[in-house]
Each structure stands twice: as structure tokens, then as C-alpha cells.
Structure 1
Amino acid sequence: MEEINVFRNTNAIFFDFDNTLVSFEEKSHEALQKVIDDIYNYVVENYSNNKLEKNEIKKVVFEIAKSLDEEGVYDRKIWWQTALDRLGIKAGMEDLYEWTQIYWSIASNNVPYEDAIDLIEYLKKKGFKLGIITNSDGEWGDKKSRLSKFPLISYFDIIIIGGENNIKPKPNVEPFIVACEKMGLNTSSCVMVGDDPVKDCLAAKKAGLRAILVDRKGQVKYAELYADYVVNSLKELEEIF
């Protein structure tokens, strides 16, 4: 029971949003593929001598998206520009904006996880302070709008969006510290729950919070090294809190 006891003095619980409270990865991948299709068409139309295959573009875009997302780079225009630089392709700002619009027209359609709804209702009844700590969607994205669609958004006492209001994005420790300060609580009495081992868990622990990793597919290697506790479903947290 020792690993459960580390949470006994918890007063507030913060949640990541994408892939923690709502499904995001599948829609993001679908959106990336749509952008890749459009980039390929752009190359065919503007670089007739370039023999770039769509699979090569896909490989680079997905690699760049994963890398920059882990670094907390939320501006999708930077994702596309970085990918184009690696591919040796030039595009105008209007093209970067268009691809960003295409991306968010698909990626913003997120479905809440059932276990998230159940857990939030459970924790609210138990009297815990609740919050969300997430990163901005950047230009042409609208994190506030996406957050507002979560069925139980009114249950959260505070929402911190890294990358907005002069708050640095995760994995910087600033959003975690700001969240605890706004709650009027010490970091040691707060817990962060998220799906990203680095941006959510290691960053939260560095800030002084406890961290719980939600590894829904059991894909994180050595998951216990990143967090104080690891679960495959949010329902498991009802046994802790």
C-alpha cells in the first residue's frame, strides 16, 4: 500500500486534456495525414522536378510533429515549416496557415473518455479541488473552445493553458507552479494526471507535485520511472482517492 499512501494528503488534482480527458491522438493523426496530402499536392504543383514521394513526406511530418510536440512547441505552423526545411521545400506563410486550418478542422473534434467523466464526477463528490493544465493550440487552434465542449468543464476550479497569458508551455514547470499558486496550495499537496511521461509527469514532479501517468495502451517503457503511479484507466484512480 506504500505507493498509494503517497497520495493521502492530496488536496487538488490537475489533469492534462488531450489523450487524458479526451481522445486526441487518432484525430490528430487523421489531420496530419490530410495536411500531408495537401503538402504532396503542393510539391507536385510547384516542384515539378522534385521526385518526393508521399511516404517520405509522411515520415518527416510525423517525426517532426512527435519531436516538437514533446518539446512543447504547440504552433503547428512551426511543425510544417520545420518539416519543409528538412525536405528542401519552400512555402509561403499563407500555405502554412492553410495547412494549420486544415489540421485543426479535423483534430479539434474530440470525444471525452467515459472513464474521465466517471472519475471527475467521483472526485468532485469527494470534495477535491480540480484543475486542468494543458498547452495552447496556437494560431488557428482554439483550446478554450475545445475545453468548453468537455461535458464537466464547470467542475474544474482552474484551467491553465501553457503558451498563453505569458505562461510557458509544458514541459516547463511554470504552468504547474502557477496552478498550485492559484489554488492557494503547496505543490506537495497537488497531483498531476496525464498521458505524457515527460510533459505531464516528469515536469510536474520537477515542480514538486506528485504525478500519475495514464498509459492507456501500455506502451510507455519503464513507465514507473516517470511517475509516482501508473494506470491504464482513469477508473483505477478511484481506488487511490
Structure 2
Amino acid sequence: MKSNPVQVKAVLFDFDDTLMYVADGRRRAREAVATAVASLHGVSAEEALAMLEYIEGRMEARRSFDRRAWFLDLLDRLGLREERRGEVLGLVKMYWDSWIRYSKPFPDAEQVIKSLRPSHRLGIVANTDGIPGFKMSRMESSGLLHYFDVVVVAGDDTEETKPDTAPFLLAAQLLGVEVENCMYVGDRASDVLGAVAAGMNAVLVGGEDFISLPHIRIETLLELIDELTPASPGPSTTREPRR
């Protein structure tokens, strides 16, 4: 249902799972690391993968995004303390190479961005990958970054990561738009709540369960065009004058 948000002048997007389809990339990245660890150390690839999935959930809940820490934890838990440190950077490279290779923009992402660009300022607010500068480099490889006026990497450009309000407030400041005239579009309820706490309008994309908000929920990015297009006036009830 069209909500007709008032005076939305800027639209800020999350990156992974909002503009970019990364489910295959994430899965392939985990599998590549688990297979490499199994091959190097003679452990079960299935055990390594299950352990890595557990570590991923635990680290993301703590907003710890540095894969170096993830993989050190993995090797520790598998009892590989002596051999571990020399190979961690190689595992990080393998992980992100696989992630990038098998990730791609959602089919409607570029269409939506191009449609909004003439009438709105556009930005990205995304969390760090844990290594300063790496998230920006990864976003540049997507082919989408040139459409955006501002990109804020929370955790690199701000001390706090999303859902803290600081990254959202910085993005609005850099765009020169009041926060109440900004709309944030993301796939995580926690980030949507952060944007709302900062004073923005917010849109949740996809099927993640979340608490009720006085904002918008859509299933695909394409619906955003309709949400940000002014409603057409209904048929006029004014009679034509007699001639």
C-alpha cells in the first residue's frame, strides 16, 4: 500500500542483501574456507563448515566483521593453534574472492537507482568488512557505486557500525539533507530501527520478521519506485460549466 512519504529528498540504501544478491557468494565463501582448512589440516570439511557458520552468527551478533578474527577463532576451535597465523590472510583473500565472484546486483537494483536518481539524492550506508577500505573496494567492484552521491562505511567512516544512529546521521549531513527528509532502505530490521531512531523514514526489503513499524515493508526493490512516486489524483468531481 502506498504510504506517500512526505518530502523524501534522499534515499539511502544498504548494500549486501539489499542492492546485491550475496547469498550464493556468502555460501561459496564459507565452503571455500572450510575446504581449504580441511585440505591443509586433515580435518572434516563438514565439521569446519558447521563451525564457521556458528562463528559467523556469533560474530555478526557482536558486530565483529573482521574475517581475520573469524578464521583465527575457527582454527583455534579445530585445535590448530600452532599452524594458524600464517594462513589466515590467505583464507581471508580466498573468502572474499569467492564472495565477490558469486555475488551480483539484484535484477531490479540498477533500474530502481536510475529511476530515483533524477529526483532524489542517493547514498549507501553499509557496515564495514572489518578491514579499513576493503568494503569500499568491494562495492566499487559491483559497478553500482558511480550512481551514488555519498557512501558511508559504518565502522570505517564512523566509530560505530549500524544500527547505531551515527552512520545514518553522517550520511544525511554529507548529502546536505535533513534526516526527516531521508529514507533508508535495508533488509535487516535492526538497521531499519537504527534509521528510524536517527529520525529517517525507513523501508524494510524482503521477508525478515520484525516488529511493527510506522513505515514501509516491500518484497522487492522495484516496489520502491511506486512508494516514492506521488499518488495520481483521482477523477475530478468538478462539473464542466454549461456552454
TM-score by length of 1: 0.84
Q: Which range moves more in the overlay, 151-160 or 32-41?
A: 151-160
Q: 2:156, 2:132 → 1: CA distance?
A: 14
Q: Is the 8 A contact 2:184 2:202 kept in 1?
A: yes
- Distance in 2, Cα, partners of 1:102 & 1:140: 18
Are residue 208 (structure 1) and residue 191 (structure 2) matched?
Answer: no
> Whole-Å Cα distance in 2 between the matches of residues 201 and 71 of structure 1?
18
1:231 aligns with 2:224: no
d(CA) in 2 for partners of 1:227 and 1:27? 33
For residues 162 and 84 of structure 1, the distance between their equivalents in structure 2, rounded to whole angstroms, comes to 28
Secondary structure of the residue aligned to 2:3 is helix
- d(CA) in 2 for partners of 1:140, 1:186: 28
The C-alpha deviation readout for 1:4-27, integer Å capped at 9, x for no partner, is 13x222111100111111121211
> Which has more helix, going by share of residues?
1
Distance 2:41 2:144 in 1: 44
Aligned to 1:47: none
**Is the alpha carbon distance of 1:70 and 1:196 closer, same or farther for their aligned partners in structure 2, counting shifts above 3 Å?**
farther
CA distance in structure 2 between the aligned counterparts of 1:82 and 1:143, rounded to whole angstroms: 22
User: Post-superposition shift, 1:32?
Assistant: 0.7
Question: Is 1:189–2:181 an aligned residue pair?
Answer: yes
Q: Is the 8 A contact 1:188 1:209 kept in 2?
A: yes
**Ranges in structure 1 where 5+ consecutive residues have no aligned partner:** 45-51
2:17 corresponds to: 19
Q: How does 1:56-95 map to 2 (within 5 A)?
A: 56-90=47-81, 91-95=83-87
Contact 2:9 2:120 in 1 (8 A): yes
Q: Counterparts of 2:74 and 2:13 in 1: how far apart (Å)? A: 30
- Structure 1 position 142, deviation (Å): 2.7
Residues 35 and 150 of structure 1: is their aligned pair in 2 closer, same or farther, counting only changes over 3 Å? Answer: closer
1:115 aligned to which of 99, 102, 108 = 108
Identity of aligned residues (%): 29
Give the aligned CA root-mean-square deviation in angstroms.
2.3
Q: Residues of 2 paired with 1:88 and 1:4: CA distance? A: 54
1:44-63 mapped onto 2 (5 Å cutoff): 44=42, 53-63=44-54
Superposed structure 1 runs of 4+ greater than 4 Å apart: none
- How many residue pairs align between the two structures? 226
Tell me which amino acid in the other structure corresponds to 1:136.
T
Q: Aligned partner of 1:97: which letter?
A: L
Corresponding residue of 1:43: 41
Segments of 5+ residues of structure 2 without an aligned counterpart are 229-243
- Any conservation in 2 of the 1:31–1:107 contact (CA below 8 Å)? yes
User: Greater CA radius of gyration, 1 or 2?
Assistant: 2
